[in-house]
Structure formats: C-alpha cells, structure tokens
Structure 1
Amino acid sequence: MDLLPFASLFSVGGVMSFVWFFEIGLGPIPWLIAAEMFPPRSRTTATSIATMVNWLGLFIIGIVFPTMQSALGDYIFVPFAILLVLTLAFSLKFVPETKGKTLDEIQEEINPY
C-alpha cells in the first residue's frame, strides 16, 4: 500500500511528460505544415482539413487503443513507433525545408508549374 501514492504521482508525471513532449514535438505539425506549405488563398481550407484529420486520428487511436493493448500487451507502443519511423522517412523525403524561405520561394519549390 505504501507504493500507491508514489505510483499515482508517477502516472500523473508520465502523462504530463507525454503532453509536454508531444506539444514541443509532433503536436503542432499539422498546423505548422498547413500554414507554411499552402498559399494564402487556400491556407484556411488546408488548416481545417489538417485539424480534422489530426482529431480524427486521435479519436481512432482512442477507440482502438484498449483493443490493441489487450492484444499486444507490453508491446502496445511498437505500432506507434513503426508509424513514427515511417512518418520521419516520409518527412525527410517529401517535406521541403522552409527555414529562411519566403512564402513565394516555398510555393515555387512545391509547385514549380
């Protein structure tokens, strides 16, 4: 029984750490990419779609996570790690670097026609 208070504090700390690292890492990516990759005339639509896809994905994860946890047990985060590696590979190959570029330069690189 003495470990119970420690375990609950550890759980809260783990959740807070996850939220913090998510928000400084992958959390804002849909909004950042939509804001930098689309021209002003379609930026609001792109941001809306990115937001919808982001929340839909989170909803699906919330629905299937208990089933996945029952099936995978201790290996529950392996599918997420695989998706993260695939996302990294996709980003490195297809998402252009936008640092120090104007919106016109970014648009020219994405759509040269």
Structure 2
Amino acid sequence: MAKATGVHGTGSISKGNAILLLVLMSFYSAGFGWSWGPLLWIIPSEIFPLKIRTTGQSIAVAVQFLTIFLLSQTFLTMLCHLKFGAFLFHGTWIVVMTLFIMLFLPETKGLHLDSINDIWCKHWYWRYYVKREVLQNQH
C-alpha cells in the first residue's frame, strides 16, 4: 500500500513524483546559484582592503570549506531527529544571514578597490573598529 508521499514500501517512487522532485531540485539549484551561492566568493573578495585581501580570502575560504563539511556531515542526523525542523533550522539561518548582509556589509558596487577602506570607515557599525589609513605620499 502506497503512503501519501508516493514512496512505496520497496523504496521506489512513482514517475510523476520523480519528475516533480527533479523539477523542484532544479529550481532549488538555480535559486541558490543566483542568490547565496556566489556570495561565498564575492563578499570576501570585495570587503578586504588590498593589503590583506589574500590573507582574508584564504581564511574565508577555509572557514567556508569547514562549515560546508560540518553541514554535510550533520544534515542526515538532523533530518532524522528534527524531521522538517531541519529545513526550518536552515531557513532561519538564511534569514539571519540576509539581515547580516543588509545591516553590516556596505555596498561596494562601482567603487575603486583602493576606496573600500573609506566605506568601512563611514559605516554606522564598523567605523568604530576600522582605522583610516594615512597616505604616505601626501602633497
């Protein structure tokens, strides 16, 4: 007897549900690729001043790889214990990340790389932590 989900006791899935699942997974992949996916690489490459960009990018990539590894290792356990709550957990973090981006990361579109530090110095939060660089070749 088939369950309401369309998965039978043998582990098979109906052709209609398989197509629906493939379409939904494709929408998810496209949505992630157009939204949060590239941000893992774009934000660290734009927020660091030129002096420390390579170090900052290296640390950011290492943290990203570690986080993705931990998420992939714990997701199935979360799914078994939390059921749909695992998706609510990840959805909540998407909301938190969106708010963080909106509130704490200034827009750098169209700015020259050398002027990024000035943007951080003018930001409502980061201005207390980022110091203005003194240009050595002042006239």
TM-score range, shorter chain: 0.7 to 0.9
Greater relative CO, 1 or 2 (CA 8 Å, sep 6+)? 1
Q: Paired residue for 1:107?
A: 117
Matched, 1:79 2:86: no
**Shift of residue 105 of structure 1?**
2.2
**CA distance 1:90–1:33, change in 2 (3 Å):** same
Q: Percent identity?
A: 29
Matched residue, 2:22: 12
Letter in 2 for 1:106: I
The equivalent of 1:23 in structure 2 is 33
Q: 2:59 & 2:32 partners in 1: Cα distance?
A: 20
2:68 corresponds in structure 1 to 58
Higher helix share: 1
Residue pair 1:68, 1:76 contacting (<8 A) in 2 also: yes
Higher deviation after alignment, 43-52 or 29-38 = 43-52
Counterpart in the other structure of 1:33: 43
Q: Which runs of 5+ in 2 are unaligned?
A: 7-12, 121-129, 133-139
- Residue segments in structure 1 that go unaligned for 5+ positions in a row: none
Superimposed CA distance per residue, residues 60-107 of structure 1 (whole angstroms, 9 cap, x where no aligned partner)? 111111111112112321111111111122112210111222222222
Q: Aligned residues, how many?
A: 113
Q: Could you tell me which amino acid in structure 2 is paired with residue 84 of structure 1?
A: I
SS state at 2:58 partner: helix
SS of equivalent residue, structure 2 residue 107: coil
- Matches of 1:4 and 1:73 in 2, distance apart? 22
Single out whichever of 95-104 and 1-10 deviates more from structure 2. 1-10
**Root-mean-square deviation (CA), in Å?**
2.1
Aligned partner of 2:79 in structure 1 is 69
